[in-house]
Amino acid sequence: MPSENNENKAATAVVRFRFWTSPAGSVVEVGPSHQSVDLPSVPLPVLREELQDGPPSTDAIGRGVYDYLRQYPDCPHNLAYAELLRDAFPHFLADLGAQVAMLDHKEVDPLYVRRKITGMKILALLTPGNAGLWRQMGVAAFDLAMTFSQLLQCRFHLLEGMGYLRRALKLDPNDAASLNYLAQIDYLLGDYPSAGERWQRLCEGMDSPAVRQALAQKVERISREEVPDHPVVDDLEAVGEALAACGHGEYEEAKLILERLEEEGTLPAECPTSEFFYLLGLCRGKTGDLGSAFAAFEKALELDPDYAPAQEGREMILDGREF
């Protein structure tokens, strides 16, 4: 899936942008005082419609670089592009920072989380020693991984988050939040020894007795090998497969996946969510198993009494309505 997305992005870039390399020694004049800023000797992305006759205008260079970098923050020459924005077009970086701050206050939505990560990656190009920024990216990637609609790409997002959090911890070895999130990722990926070591380290530095006790219980459980016999991420991806099957109307196939996970018990025990049981109830309802569907909706509401989709599913059965 990630490689397919990269191919689509590359095709889009060819359509939208053209690359222009300035002659050696070229500058742009910016600001009220017409300050001269050297242009880097690398190909600069410019929107295709703004590179028709002759070299692009100063504004076209700024818009092109900003738009391109927001879409492809890991592109070649990304540091040169970010430095050009900083030196010649700081208003674009101010806009980017405002967007990142604004997205902190939005509901968790995959599109917004992805935009937030992209914005922070650009800012991190200019402040690579900012441990807090790397930690925020790691936490955002973890949140993305655990978002129900993103479970099919869960492993990819967890590994992405791991990379950011490791960078944060390297910069700040005492960063408790990064250490905890890394332990959670280790656990989900099935690396129980690493998870235990991180939680033990975190436990030793905790002042709160309650938190210390909770961490100690996690460590003890791992030491007694009371852990799943397979990585939990495998089950999370299986839920993603079931969700994709539902999207294609293949409810019987989705039901078989979810019922297997329920019977095995690992996922409901490790990551209990109302969404899982609602999806199970929906698949059972769609395939005519109304009694079992009602039981699944009840389990969803035990976890979250206010979960509206499960309430609606239960009411549909009670009212005799069709799924």
Last residue of a domain, one of 88, 118, 147: 88
Domain match, 20 and 114 both: no
What CATH number did the domain enclosing 247 receive?
A: 1.25.40.10
Angstrom distance (rounded) from CA 316 to CA 303: 20
Domain match, 217 and 243 both: no
Nearest to 205 by CA among 195, 196, 215: 215
Angstrom distance (rounded) from CA 170 to CA 163: 11
- Show the tokens assigned to 177: 């939040």
Domain match, 202 and 125 both: yes
Predicted pLDDT at 112: 86
Q: What type of residue sits at position 114?
A: R
Does residue 105 belong to any structural domain of this protein?
A: no
> For 64-75, what is each residue's pLDDT tens digit?
999 999 999 999
Does residue 66 belong to any structural domain of this protein?
A: yes
- Show the tokens assigned to 174: 């005492």
Angstrom distance (rounded) from CA 134 to CA 124: 7
Domain match, 115 and 215 both: yes
Buried b / exposed e across 132-158, counting CB within 10 Å, b at 16+? ebbbbbbbbbbbbbbbbebbbbbbbbb
Domain match, 209 and 251 both: no
Buried b / exposed e across 21-31, counting CB within 10 Å, b at 16+? ebeeeeebebe
Does residue 100 belong to any structural domain of this protein?
A: no
Domain match, 19 and 65 both: yes
- Show the tokens assigned to 215: 């961490």
Domain match, 214 and 246 both: no
Predicted pLDDT at 77: 97
Q: What type of residue sits at position 44?
A: L
Per-residue CA distances from 321 to 34, 104, 165, 280, 310 (Å) = 69, 40, 48, 18, 14
Q: Which domain holds residue 11?
A: 2-88
Coil vs helix vs strand at 20: strand
Domain match, 204 and 261 both: no
Last residue of a domain, one of 223, 247, 276: 223
Predicted pLDDT at 52: 81
Strand partners, 44: 20
Does residue 93 belong to any structural domain of this protein?
A: no
- Show the tokens assigned to 208: 């709160």
Angstrom distance (rounded) from CA 33 to CA 49: 29
Q: Which element (helix H / strand E) includes 36? A: strand 35-38
pLDDT tens digit at each of 323 positions of the chain: 555 555 555 555 668 899 999 999 999 998 888 899 999 999 999 999 988 878 999 999 999 999 999 999 999 999 999 999 999 999 999 989 888 887 666 556 888 889 899 999 999 999 999 999 999 999 999 999 999 999 999 999 999 999 999 999 999 999 999 999 999 999 999 999 999 999 999 999 888 999 999 999 999 999 999 999 999 999 999 999 999 999 999 999 999 999 999 999 999 999 999 999 999 999 999 999 999 999 999 999 999 999 999 999 999 999 988 88
Last residue of a domain, one of 223, 258, 273: 223
Backbone angles phi, psi at 306, to 5 degrees: -100, 10
User: How many distinct structural domains can be found in the chain?
Assistant: 3
Domain match, 249 and 298 both: yes
Does residue 102 belong to any structural domain of this protein?
A: no
Does residue 231 belong to any structural domain of this protein?
A: no
Backbone angles phi, psi at 30, to 5 degrees: -130, 160
169: left (phi over 0), alpha (psi -120 to 50) or beta: alpha
Question: Residue 196: how many CB atoms within 10 A of its CB?
Answer: 20
Coil vs helix vs strand at 29: strand
Find out whether 62 and 92 touch, Cβ atoms under 8 Å. yes
Q: Which element (helix H / strand E) includes 22? A: none
What is the secondary structure of 182-215 as a DSSP string? HHHHHHHTT-HHHHHHHHHHHHHT---HHHHHHH
Q: How many residues does the chain have?
A: 323
Domain match, 250 and 215 both: no
Angstrom distance (rounded) from CA 262 to CA 242: 13
Does residue 95 belong to any structural domain of this protein?
A: no
Does residue 99 belong to any structural domain of this protein?
A: no
- pTM of the full predicted structure? 0.90
Find out whether 165 and 135 touch, Cβ atoms under 8 Å. yes
